[in-house]
Amino acid sequence: MTEEEGKELSQLKTLRAELSIAKKKVLALQQEIREVEEQIYSKCKHEWKIDYTNVGEHTEHICTNCGGFRGGSAGVPPPNDGIR
Whether the predicted model's global pTM rises above the 0.85 cut: no
Q: Domain for residue 78, yes or no?
A: no
Virtual CA dihedral for 13, 18, 19, 22, nearest 10 degrees? 160
User: What's the domain range around 53?
Assistant: 3-71
Is 32 part of a structural domain of the chain? Answer: yes
**pLDDT over 80 (residue 13):** yes
Is residue 7, in this structure, part of any structural domain at all? yes
**What backbone torsions phi and psi does residue 21 show, to the nearest 5 degrees?**
-65, -45
Residue 84 within any structural domain of the chain: no
The predicted structure's pLDDT at residue 80: 47
Q: Is residue 18 part of a domain?
A: yes
Tell me the pLDDT band of 7, cut-offs 50, 70 and 90. Answer: very high
Residue 9, in any domain of the structure: yes
DSSP 43-76: H----EEE-TT--SSS-EEEETTT--EEETT-SS
Q: Considering the domain boundaries, does residue 38 fall inside one?
A: yes
Does the residue 79 lie in any domain? no
| Per-residue pLDDT tens over the stretch 43-84 | 999 999 999 887 777 889 999 999 998 876 544 444 445 554
Report the domain count for the chain: 1
